[in-house]
């Protein structure tokens, strides 16, 4: 069979594997079209401080699929990275986030919010990454000081000097950096000291059982002490209950993100949330 199929397509004897390969290829075609058509939407998830005041927001991309409805990132980000589509998609996300910053800049109550944008290692490692970010900041007129780029420890497996250089150039323009999913990767403490970071983001997996698992509580306490001693802010992700939030506060964590405060929501709902909290205050 493998030979008989001829052409350049891979053929497998196991029909199950063949189906999976076909589905993967079909999904890639669909994703490519979606990137061309810009069939995506940003969801906004609040970040709050110790007074439950919304201080910022993380934007999370969703695929607006004609048949399947709203598709979550875990279904397409990896494929976007494999295929290089993460580059145009990442620019689309960044461009839209920066346009949002500019439109909020003239709205009381929204003007001071930071926007956090997830940047994949594939994007960051591109030689033109810094130029792309600066071009988007210039064309949108967004305040760089309100833009926070979320990077992950996987980025640090490659050329760290290059990463530090890029971060330093962007930081000089005011852009800030958060180390996402912190504690799940491989970052060495010596790198951590050298990276021009603004924030550590405690991974959701440590927050989940922080009340019941003493090891998780120890890890959270350690990340907080580490972050503060390096002069960084530390935010906990995945905070779902008031009990988790209160315990995190006892551990000296003062910035939170999670379903307790808000799920990721559409723009109008997020703006409503901000104004609602403002009136309640
Ligand atoms: P992340 O950056 O760590 O984002 C946090 C994820 O946790 C989001 O999932 C969010 O919806 C979810 N989450 C937030 N609070 C809670 C909570 O209290 N409980 C639970 N169970 N989950 C919570 P989402 O939106 O599905 O995104 C998943 C991942 O996809 C993100 O993880 C990020 O790595 C990636 N991603 C999302 N948008 C983008 C993007 O624009 N570019 C890139 N490169 N990656 C993105
Ligand atoms: Mg993130
Ligand atoms: Mg995260
Ligand atoms: Mg995480």
pLDDT at 8: 64
pLDDT tens by residue, 75-91: 999 999 999 999 999 99
**Residue 182 contacts residue 223 (beta carbons within 8 Å):** yes
**Residue 100 contacts residue 267 (beta carbons within 8 Å):** yes
**Residue 210 contacts residue 248 (beta carbons within 8 Å):** yes
Q: Which ligand has the nearest atom to the CA of 120?
A: 1
Query: What is the pLDDT confidence band of residue 10, given thresholds at 50, 70 and 90?
Result: low
Q: How far away, in angstroms, is 204 Cα from ligand 3 center?
A: 7
Return the structure tokens found at 79.
């494929």
Question: What is the Cα–Cα distance from 171 to 179, expressed in whole angstroms?
Answer: 14
At residue 178, φ and ψ (nearest 5 deg) are -120, 140
Q: Can you tell me whether residue 85 is helix, strand or coil?
A: coil
Q: Provide the 8-state DSSP code for 220.
A: H
Task: Name beta bridge partners: 40.
Answer: 63
Please report, for residues 67, 256, 273, 274, the alpha-carbon distance to residue 279 in angstroms, rounded to integers and kept in the order given.
Answer: 39, 21, 10, 9
pLDDT average, residue stretch 64-72: 95
Q: Provide the 8-state DSSP code for 265.
A: B
Phi-psi region of 84 (alpha: psi -120 to 50; beta: other; left: phi over 0): left
pLDDT tens by residue, 12-25: 677 788 788 888 88
Query: What is the pLDDT confidence band of residue 190, given thresholds at 50, 70 and 90?
Result: confident
Return the structure tokens found at 230.
């390096």
pLDDT at 1: 43
At residue 157, φ and ψ (nearest 5 deg) are -75, -25
Q: How far away, in angstroms, is 181 Cα from ligand 4 center?
A: 4
The ipTM assigned to this model is 0.97
Pick the range with the lowest mean pLDDT from 1-5, 51-55, 145-149, 179-183. Answer: 1-5
Query: What is the pLDDT confidence band of residue 278, given thresholds at 50, 70 and 90?
Result: low
Given a cut of 70, whether residue 2 has pLDDT beyond it is: no
As for ligand 1, residues whose beta carbon falls within 6 Å of it are 45, 60-61, 72-74, 77, 90, 93, 118, 120, 150, 180-181, 204, 237-240, 257-259, 264
Residue 93 alpha carbon, nearest atom of ligand 1: 41
Q: How far away, in angstroms, is 190 Cα from ligand 2 center?
A: 23
**Residue 194 contacts residue 232 (beta carbons within 8 Å):** no
pLDDT tens by residue, 249-276: 999 999 999 999 999 999 999 999 998 7
pLDDT average, residue stretch 130-151: 98
pLDDT at 6: 52
pLDDT average, residue stretch 176-201: 90
Q: Provide the 8-state DSSP code for 100.
A: H
Q: Can you tell me whether residue 177 is helix, strand or coil?
A: strand
Residue 43 alpha carbon, nearest atom of ligand 1: 25
Residue ranges of the alpha helices (H) in the chain? 15-37, 77-83, 86-104, 121-124, 129-140, 160-172, 189-194, 204-208, 214-229, 242-250, 267-280
pLDDT tens by residue, 91-110: 999 999 999 999 999 998 99
């Amino acid at each position: 069979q493998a030979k008989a199929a001829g052409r350049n397509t891979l053929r497998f004897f196991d029909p199950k594997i063949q189906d999976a390969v076909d589905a993967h290829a079909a999904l890639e075609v669909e994703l490519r079209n979606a990137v061309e058509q810009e069939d995506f939407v940003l969801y906004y998830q609040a970040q709050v401080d110790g007074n439950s005041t919304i201080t910022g927001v993380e934007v999370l991309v969703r695929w607006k699929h004609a048949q399947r409805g709203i598709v979550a990132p875990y279904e397409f980000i990896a494929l976007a990275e494999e295929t290089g589509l993460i580059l145009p998609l990442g620019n689309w996300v960044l461009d839209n986030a920066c346009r949002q910053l500019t439109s909020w800049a003239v709205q009381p109550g929204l003007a001071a919010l930071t926007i956090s944008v997830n940047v994949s290692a594939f994007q960051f490692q591109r030689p033109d990454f810094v130029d792309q970010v600066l071009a988007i900041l210039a064309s949108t007129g967004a305040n760089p000081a309100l833009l926070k780029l979320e990077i992950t420890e996987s980025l640090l497996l490659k050329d760290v000097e290059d990463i530090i250089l890029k971060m330093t150039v962007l930081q000089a323009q005011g852009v800030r950096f958060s180390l996402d999913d912190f504690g799940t990767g491989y970052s060495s403490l010596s790198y951590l000291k050298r990276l021009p970071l603004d924030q550590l983001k405690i991974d959701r997996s440590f927050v989940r059982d922080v009340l019941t698992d003493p090891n998780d509580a120890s890890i959270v306490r350690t990340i907080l002490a580490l972050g503060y001693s390096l002069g960084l802010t530390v935010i906990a992700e995945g905070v779902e209950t008031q009990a988790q939030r209160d315990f995190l506060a006892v551990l000296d964590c003062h910035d939170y993100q999670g379903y307790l405060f808000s799920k990721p929501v559409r723009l109008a709902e997020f703006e409503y949330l901000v104004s609602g909290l403002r009136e309640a205050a």
